[in-house]
Structures are given as structure tokens and as C-alpha cells.
Amino acid sequence: MSTFDPAQALRIDLARGQLSLTGSSGGSGNRLLVPLDSMIDLLSSADNDAITAFGAGIGTDMGRRVRDRLGSAIDQASVELFLEHLGGEIALAGLGSLSLERWGYALVLVLEGLKDAASLEILVAAMLEAAIQRALSRDVSVLSLGRQADALKLAMLGRHAKDQVEQAMAAGKSLGDVLTQLHQSTQANAIRGES
């Protein structure tokens, strides 16, 4: 498995006045370089489904490129390798630096450097869900756990678990207590299912 190599990933054709990303599918792979604040203003005026659809389109392209690079061994790709490729794609898009946290069985992605904007959070969450879906063929429900300093934490959960955590955190529980309760309910269900 190769590591992420960003060389020659972005090509700017000054003569034609075009910006293209290497390995991108769908058309010529041309990109538009727009100001972030204008983008945020645009997203702020759009509804969540539009933002989610917009973000899912970006994420699907990212997942396809990671899968293209990793190939058939993407299922056995380590956490670090997959994180490297996925994080590389997000970095090329200018959406921040990606890292990973593991809380027991729970997978939490941390995105630093992302401008604090709710439309951006919705955009990134939809982007990640689509990227994982495209790369690994798993339906993931991304739950924003909030920001801590400059980092946005996003938990990769199932749909049912996402609903439980949202209810507990809405009740004022901390992330630790919520994740502990989530693990206890998961073990109880597993024992009940085995019996």
C-alpha cells in the first residue's frame, strides 16, 4: 500500500485559466477557487439538505479517489493509512487537518483548522459520510460533538446510536458519560442477543 502522495495533485493551467485536480473523476476535474467566506455565506443561505447534498458530492469524489489509490486492499488498510489518504483529500480541499480519536469502540474524527460555521459543519459531516460510503461501502451517521478549541469532533456512529447520543447530550450529559452509557447498552444488547 502506497502512502498519500500529493505531488502533482493540483494543476493550474494559467494559459487556459483552468484549475484541475489530478485523479478526479467527473468531467475534466476542474475546480473553482472561491473565497471561503463567500462560500460560507452561500451555504448559510441554503437549507441543510442542499448543504448535505453539496457536501455528499464532494465526499463521494474524495472516497473514490482514496479507493482508487488504495485499491482492493482498502478493507485491510490500517487506521493510519486510511486516515492519511482521507486526510490528504480534505487537506487538498482546504477544509482543515484531519485526525482520529478512539473512545472505546467509538470512532471520533477531529478536524482542525476548519472555519467555525454551522453550514460548514453540516457540509463536512455530509462530505465524510459520502467519502466513507464511497471508499468503504459503510453507511455512517456523523454526529457533530462540538468544537473544543479549534477542533471539530465528529463521531462515526450508526444511525440508532446517533439518536441516543444526541438525546443524552441534549440532556446535559458529558461526552464521556454519553459514550460510557452507549457502550453499556451495546454490551447488554450483545449478551441478550447471544442468549
Partner 1 sequence: MNLQTIDRLKGLLARVERNASKPRVFADVQILQASPAQGLATPPPAIVQPKVTEAVTSSSPVNLAPDELEPIVSVAPVAPPVAVVPKAPALTAPEPKPALAATGLNDMPVDLSPPAPVVEAAAVKTPAVAEAAELEEAPLEDVSAEDIGLEDLSFEDIAAETSGQVSVPTQTAVQASPAPFTTPPSLDDLTFSEPPPPPVESAPPPASTRQVISEAPDSIDAALIAATAAQAESESEQDEREAPLLTPPPESGRQPARPSTATAAQEATRLSAPTVEQLGEVVELEELSGPVLELAEAAPPVLPQEPEELEFVPQVSTRSPDVAPATVSDVEPLLPPAREAMPTLVGAFVDELPPSSRELETAREKPESAPPMRGVAVSVSDAFSDEAPTSVVVALSAETTQRRAVATSKPVVDVISQARSFKPQSFLELLDASLKLGK
Any contact of residue 4 with partner 1 (CB under 8 A)? no
What per-residue string of b and e applies to 118-155 under the rule 16 or more CB within 10 Å gives b?
Answer: ebbbbbbbbbbbbbbbbbbeeebbbbebeeeeebbbbb
Site for partner 1 in 77-116 (CB under 8 A): 77-79, 81-83, 102, 104-107
**Which 3-state string (H, E, C) describes 26-43?**
CCCCECCCCCHHHHHHHH
Taking the least distance from each CB to partner 1, the nearer of 124 and 154 is 154
Give whichever of 43 and 77 is closer to partner 1, judged by the CB atom: 77
Instruction: Mark residues 43-82: x for contact with partner 1 by CB under 8 A, - for none.
Output: -------------------------------xxxxxx-xx
Q: How far, in Å, CA of 53 to CA of 38, rounded?
A: 18
For partner 1 (CB under 8 A), the number of binding residues is: 34
Q: Of the listed pieces 13-21, 144-152, 160-168, 169-177, which binds partner 1 according to CB under 8 A?
A: 160-168
